[in-house]
């Protein structure tokens, strides 16, 4: 059950080695007639190479492993998709495992993957790295896509949150806003402080004085956004726009505004961050900055395959820029959609990612 090179050799009248060369090594000098004949026979017999045998011989599997904390996390599927689209162009396959934020499971996953079915590993949204002795000594290259644990580390691809926050603020300023509030992310989170820094930097760049009264601590959740917004509405000289550090808090702020009798965006503009699916579904649709998840995955895959080809050569942390998706919550004219931060290379896919969610079946 499974045609082998030997059978093809017998059927075609050539030796196994010639058959192998004809079929898998386009550069090897094989008589054109021979090659054609062999290819023909192979096709007719339905030959499918036995990858196990090939891997055993060549010590490479054309497969990489992806270890994700949880494939159910909102950002993980697009990261994986980004990885896979790159892999497909290079005839690689991906083995995917969840670690469930558990170092032990992650260690298991690493061990399972090291046992050779893979040539390298990408950690997608990993919140930590299990003691990687095994990994290191395996000599297999690995890369982080959207590394979640705080410290900067080589071989990782992360979002440029500073840039993204500035993008959001700049949009608001462009719309005429001067009193722009911010609802921050949960304290202690790397992305929370980066987004806040980006907010401050852009205010400065626009010559707008920073007003501490316009900054509220949030918690990444709907509730935090809601209550932070209520506080902001009560400030002596209230903001005309709010930048929420994520979409969930932006939604909370929108609902708070509505409950307070304010119209969004007419009375107050609100911009979110992350480009979560629901920002296209709620009313008003939320203007937001995307997490460049697809691109991070794509880039991580590119770097990993590079390492697999050329051997380990650590690279510095790479930051990927998101872009602004103009929708309804800021009052901007949607038709003149800006594409700041858009990398033409992945445009088509990006548009795909911004498409309306699939109807369900």
Partner DNA sequence: GTGAAAGCGCTAACAT
Partner DNA sequence: ATGTTAGCGCTTTCAC
Beta bridge partners, 93, equal 63
**φ, ψ of residue 289 in degrees (nearest 5):** -105, 135
Binders in 29-58 for DNA, by CB under 7 A: 29-31, 33-35, 47, 49-50, 53-54, 56-58
Closest to a copy of itself by CB, 203 or 245 = 245
Q: Which is nearer to DNA, 41 or 172 (CB)?
A: 41
Q: Does 14 bind DNA (CB under 7 A)?
A: yes
SS3 50: coil
What is the nearest approach in angstroms of DNA to the Cβ of residue 26?
Answer: 12
Contact assessment for residue 229 and residue 261, using Cβ atoms and an 8 Å cutoff: no
Residues 19, 97, 268, 271: which binds a copy of itself (CB under 8 A)?
A: 97
Query: Closest separation between CB of residue 206 and a copy of itself, Å?
Result: 27
Q: Which of 11, 96, 153, 231 binds a copy of itself (CB under 8 A)?
A: 96
- Residue 315 binds DNA, judged by CB under 7 A: no
Tell me which of 11, 18, 39, 148 binds DNA, using CB under 7 A.
Answer: 18
HSE of 136, CA atoms in CB hemisphere, 13 A: 5
Write the burial class of residue 166 (CB in 10 Å: 0-12 exposed, 13-18 middle, 19+ buried): buried
Binding-site partner at residue 46 among a copy of itself, DNA, none, CB < 5 to 8 Å by type: a copy of itself
Cβ atoms of 235 and 213 within 8 Å: the answer is yes
Is the Cβ of residue 9 or residue 158 nearer to a copy of itself in the bound state? 158
Q: Which of 1, 42, 3 is nearest to 19 (CA)?
A: 42
Site string for a copy of itself, 250-289 (x = CB under 8 A): -x---x------------------x-xxx--xxx------
Burial class for 357, CB neighbours closer than 10 Å (0-12, 13-18, 19+): exposed
| Separation between Cα atoms, residue 335 and residue 22, nearest integer Å | 55
- Interface with DNA includes 23 (CB under 7 A)? yes
C-alpha to C-alpha distance for 328 and 27, rounded to whole angstroms: 56
Q: Binds 31, which of DNA, a copy of itself, none (CB < 5 to 8 A, cut-off by type)?
A: DNA
The site that binds a copy of itself (CB under 8 A) totals a number of residues, namely 72
Name the minimum Å distance from CB 208 to a copy of itself.
27
Burial of 100 (0-12, 13-18, 19+ CB in 10 A): middle
Bond preceding residue 265 cis, omega within 30 of 0: yes
Residue 358 binds which of DNA, a copy of itself, none (CB < 5-8 A, kind-dependent):
a copy of itself
186 is an interface residue for a copy of itself by CB under 8 A: yes
What string of DSSP letters covers 136-197?
HHHT--EEEES--SSS--SSEEEE-HHHHHHHHHHHHHHTT---EEEEEPPTT-HHHHHHHH
**Min. distance of Cβ 44 from DNA in angstroms?**
15
Decide if 281 contacts 322 (C-beta within 8 A).
no
In the region spanning residues 73 to 92, those forming contacts with a copy of itself, defined by CB under 8 A, are: 73-78, 80-81, 84, 91
Per CB under 8 A, contacts with a copy of itself among 41-70 are: 46, 48-53, 55-56, 61, 63, 70
- Name which of 48 and 361 has its Cβ closer to DNA: 48
Specify the stretch interacting with DNA by CB under 7 A; choose among 20-28, 267-275, 308-316, 346-354: 20-28
Q: Which is nearer to DNA, 31 or 347 (CB)?
A: 31
Residues in the chain, how many?
A: 361
* CA R_g for the chain: 26
Residues that bind DNA (CB under 7 A): 2, 4-6, 13-18, 20-21, 23-25, 28-31, 33-35, 47, 49-50, 53-54, 56-58
């Amino acid at each position: 059950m499974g045609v082998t090179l030997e059978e093809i050799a017998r059927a075609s009248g050539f030796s196994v080695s010639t058959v192998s060369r004809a079929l898998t090594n386009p550069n090897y000098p094989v008589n054109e007639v021979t090659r054609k004949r062999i290819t023909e026979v192979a096709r007719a017999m339905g030959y499918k190479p036995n990858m196990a045998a090939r891997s055993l011989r060549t010590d490479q599997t054309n497969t990489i492993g992806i270890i994700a904390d949880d494939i159910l996390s909102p950002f993980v599927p697009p990261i994986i998709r980004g990885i896979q689209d790159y892999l497909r162009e290079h005839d690689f396959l991906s083995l995917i495992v969840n670690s469930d934020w558990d170092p032990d499971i992650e260690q298991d996953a690493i061990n399972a993957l090291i046992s050779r079915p893979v040539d390298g590993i990408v950690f997608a949204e990993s919140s930590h790295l299990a003691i990687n002795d095994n990994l290191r000594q395996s000599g297999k290259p690995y890369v982080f896509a959207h590394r979640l644990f705080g410290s900067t580390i080589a071989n990782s691809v992360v979002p440029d949150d500073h840039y993204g926050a500035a993008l959001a603020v700049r949009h608001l300023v462009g719309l005429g806003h001067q009193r722009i509030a911010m609802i921050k992310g949960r304290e202690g989170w790397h992305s929370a402080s980066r987004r806040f820094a980006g907010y401050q930097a852009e205010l400065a760049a626009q010559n707008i004085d920073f007003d501490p009264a316009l900054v509220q601590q949030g918690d990444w959740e709907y509730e935090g956004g809601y209550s932070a917004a209520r506080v902001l509405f009560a400030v002596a000289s209230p903001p005309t726009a709010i930048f929420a550090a994520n979409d969930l808090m932006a939604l909370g702020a929108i609902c708070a505004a509505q409950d307070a009798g304010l119209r969004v965006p007419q009375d107050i503009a609100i911009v979110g961050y992350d480009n979560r699916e629901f920002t296209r579904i709620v009313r008003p649709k939320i203007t937001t900055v995307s997490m460049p998840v697809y691109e991070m995955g794509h880039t991580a895959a590119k770097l990993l395959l590079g390492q697999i080809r050329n051997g380990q050569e650590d690279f510095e942390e790479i930051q990927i820029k998101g872009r602004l998706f103009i929708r309804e919550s800021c009052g901007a004219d949607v038709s003149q959609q800006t594409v700041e931060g858009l990398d033409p290379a992945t445009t088509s896919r990006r548009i795909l990612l911004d498409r309306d969610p699939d109807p369900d079946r």
